[in-house]
Amino acid sequence: MNLIPDELIKAETPFLIINEGKILENLEILRSRFSPETGFYYSVKTNYELPVLKTLATAGIGAEVSSGFELSLAREAGFPPEKTIFDGPAWKEEELEAAVRAKIRMFNLDSLTMAAKLDEVSTRLNSISPVTIRIQAETYPRVGFLPRFARKFGVPPRALRDLLAPLTRMKGLNLAGLSTHTGTALSYPGPLLKAIDTLAKLAGELRSRDFPVNFLNLGGGLPAPGVRALSSMDLLRIQLGFSPAPLPPGEPDLSDFCRVVAEKISRELNPRKLQVAFEPGRSLVSNAGLLVTRVISIKNNWIFLDGGVNLLPESPFFLKRRFFLAARPGEKTEKRFNLSGPSLNTADVIGLGIPLPRPEIGDLLVTENAGAYTISRANQFTRLRSPVYFQMKNGKIKTCRRAETLEDLLRIWPS
């Protein structure tokens, strides 16, 4: 279990800590499971704190960016343009200009509209931009609203053929391959295996039509140890007034997951000389982060903390993760509690039915797996942004982001 470094025990709460060693350990798992030719492009939006980006750039992997801001940040952190992939459903012209001028590795195209815009920018800048087409690998369940929203990204496999003639006319683009993304925090490798089949089949079709594609980008979705998407059974339990089943220790296992996917890749993609890439986010940084909050009120089975969804905006109806009381890890749990932030937002709830020892006012409550989609999605609803600390490999702690102050805001509000 992650414990809080001594020097932060008395720090003002709430705050986040990111552990560099853990990020590098996760990267090592990915690198050891997949072949050395596999490309890894860290999904910058997952956590774009500068020391996190510098750690990963120094470790030699690439970056996947989804805006001009992220592109600039990635370059600042040291990711070379030739190891940078630009992603997203809608790009502004100035973002494309910056990426084309930098001569980045690849653009993941989401639509013909964006293809035309990139073609126009590339031609104007005398450049030929390498592109993949993002395919909906149809791995989402057919029910629920999130899967329906996810289909706004990419194009269905059957629509690929219709894009080929217009793409051939776009002289500023070079179709290098296909890309996809099967959703985050996958509980089992099935969706990714299915996506590999879909992409491999389409790549074969493209080659038979004289498009010499050789690049398959499988996106993110690799799981993070200690966090899991809620199952339909968990959701049903919540509907019926029960708590989701607790996450068994050691689950999900990133290494096992990667082994299964790697075997499929070496069986089905390597013999076809298809170069494989991933855009891992959560699997690299999620379990490297802790959110530390203080118990400020207790009412029945509700524990109120000094930080909530402003710092942990991932819904407890989507993901489950673990929590513990800093001073009493491993102590016998007394009952199940709901964990709320301090705001007047009804949805300010970060944990449902969490087994804990009975806390006392002032106790530190730690949320595990707070390294992904938390700091980069944190918001200012009713409070200022909290500090983030970075624990380096050698154990030293540095301030990664200082706490925001009222003066900071007064400076950016025109008087």
- Give contact residues for ligand PLP (rule: CB under 6 A): 43, 46, 64, 87, 181, 184, 219-222, 279-283
Q: Dihedral of the CA atoms 326, 256, 183, 52 (nearest 10)?
A: 50
Closest-CA residue to 106 (of 132, 124, 67)? 132
Nearest-angstrom CA–CA distance, 244 and 186: 17
Task: Report, in Å, the least distance between residue 39 CB and ligand PLP.
Answer: 13
Task: Report, in Å, the least distance between residue 42 CB and ligand PLP.
Answer: 9
Task: Report, in Å, the least distance between residue 124 CB and ligand PLP.
Answer: 27
Pairing mode of beta strands 289-299, 302-305:
antiparallel
Residue with Cβ nearer ligand PLP (289 or 342): 289
Using CB positions, name the residue nearest to ligand PLP.
Answer: 220
Pairing mode of beta strands 364-367, 15-19:
unpaired
Residue with Cβ nearer ligand PLP (283 or 386): 283
Task: Report, in Å, the least distance between residue 192 CB and ligand PLP.
Answer: 11
Contacts of 212 (CB under 8 A, 6+ apart): none
Residue with Cβ nearer ligand PLP (283 or 293): 283
CB 29 within 8 A of CB 254: yes
Q: What angle (nearest 5°) sits at the alpha carbon of residue 86, between those of residues 81 and 92?
A: 115
Residue with Cβ nearer ligand PLP (47 or 310): 47
Task: Report, in Å, the least distance between residue 84 CB and ligand PLP.
Answer: 13
CA-to-CA separations, 258 to 125, 189, 221, 245, in angstroms, rounded:
40, 8, 11, 25
Contacts of 79 (CB under 8 A, 6+ apart): 53, 56, 57, 62, 63
Task: Report, in Å, the least distance between residue 103 CB and ligand PLP.
Answer: 21
Residue with Cβ nearer ligand PLP (256 or 360): 256
Residue with Cβ nearer ligand PLP (43 or 139): 43
Q: How many helices (H) and strands (E) does the chain have?
A: 12, 19
Nearest-angstrom CA–CA distance, 225 and 372: 12
Task: Report, in Å, the least distance between residue 371 CB and ligand PLP.
Answer: 11
Residue with Cβ nearer ligand PLP (199 or 303): 199
Task: Report, in Å, the least distance between residue 348 CB and ligand PLP.
Answer: 23
CB 340 within 8 A of CB 348: yes
CA-to-CA separations, 95 to 46, 70, 121, 161, 331, in angstroms, rounded:
19, 10, 10, 28, 51
Residue with Cβ nearer ligand PLP (13 or 180): 180
